[in-house]
Amino acid sequence: GDSVTQMEGPVTLSEEAFLTINCTYTATGYPSLFWYVQYPGEGLQLLLKATKADDKGSNKGFEATYRKETTSFHLEKGSVQVSDSAVYFCALSDEGMDSSYKLIFGSGTRLLVRP
């Protein structure tokens, strides 16, 4: 079945450091890919998405490129801030399947940014 694999956390960085959180996926259809962020005490929020190969999603300085050849959707940010501390989830929905409405999540990666 479809699945998402993320790098384990926590990832601890100093402010203004470069961030990469790795995400790879397996899917039988034509997935759309997403990054969600969960701040402490809050619900999941969509950070960015990409719906087809080579698309780049971007938001709030974060970006991720849909790489079909490597089945990856790595999240990057050039300069992290303390306020970016949160848990980040990579997810997919398989548009080619009957359950295209369903989000399949990775296990999440906790990011801690120190001043």
Partner 1 sequence: EAGVVQSPRYKIIEKKQPVAFWCNPISGHNTLYWYRQNLGQGPELLIRYENEEAVDDSQLPKDRFSAERLKGVDSTLKIQPAELGDSAVYLCASSLDTGVNYGYTFGSGTRLTVV
By C-beta, is 19 or 50 nearer to partner 1? 50
Among residues 20, 75, 70, which one has the least CA distance to residue 49? 75
Among residues 6, 8, 9, 10, which one has the least CA distance to residue 24? 6
89 touching partner 1, by CB under 8 A: yes
41 touching partner 1, by CB under 8 A: yes
By C-beta, is 41 or 115 nearer to partner 1? 41
**Smallest gap from residue 38 Cβ to partner 1 (A):** 9
Lookup result for tokens 């960015």: 48
Stretch 46-65 residues interacting with partner 1 (CB under 8 A) = 46, 51
By C-beta, is 16 or 60 nearer to partner 1? 60
Long-range contacts of 56-65, Cβ-Cβ distance < 8 Å, separation of 24 or more = 57/33, 62/35, 64/23, 64/33, 64/35
Beta bridge partners, 59, equal: 62
Stretch 91-110 residues interacting with partner 1 (CB under 8 A) = 91, 93, 99-108
Q: Which residues bind partner 1 (CB under 8 A)?
A: 4, 32, 34, 41-46, 51, 89, 91, 93, 99-108
